[in-house]
Amino acid sequence: MSDIKDKYRYVIRKIKDRDNGSAEYEKDTCIGLTDEAGRYQGVIYKYGEVSIPNEDELNSEGDLPFRFDYVIVDNNKYPEEYFKDDFRNLIGDILVDIITNSVDEDLTEELDEEKN
């Protein structure tokens, strides 16, 4: 089984080339799904609003599921009905990975600063 990190890459989409030879890019970073993401390989999306539930909102499994919106930027020519619950579960797992890594990096930076 592959690691969740193998299933996605950050994607910055170029909007246009400028007259001076530089490029203009979208302000938002998107997520591109890799071959490891299985049937959703090639899909590009971005997250919208993300909310973390309160502790009193535990589900029956004892989890606190994130609530999040997303926009599919490039559906890789898949029709809307192609995207099932497993897609939302996949991008939810990716969101947890992104947030977890962000918190880990912030904590590491704080610890490094305290050492100096």
pLDDT value at position 103?
A: 64
The single-letter code of the amino acid at 9 is R
pLDDT value at position 72?
A: 96
pLDDT value at position 22?
A: 83
Q: Length of the chain, please?
A: 116
For the chain, domain boundaries: 4-115
- Return the percent helix, strand and coil in the chain, to nearest 5: 40, 25, 35
pLDDT value at position 93?
A: 93
Q: Provide mean pLDDT across the span 94-116.
A: 68
Q: Residues 41, 46, 49, CA angle at the centre, nearest 5°?
A: 140
Give the phi and the psi of residue 7 in degrees, each rounded to 5.
-90, -5
Q: What is the pTM of this model?
A: 0.75
CA quadruple 29, 35, 51, 55: dihedral sign: negative
- Residue range 32-70, pLDDT digits in tens: 999 999 999 999 999 999 987 777 767 677 676 778 999
Q: What band does 12 get if pLDDT is binned at 50, 70 and 90?
A: confident
Q: How far is CA 83 from CA 20, 72, 89, in A?
A: 40, 10, 11
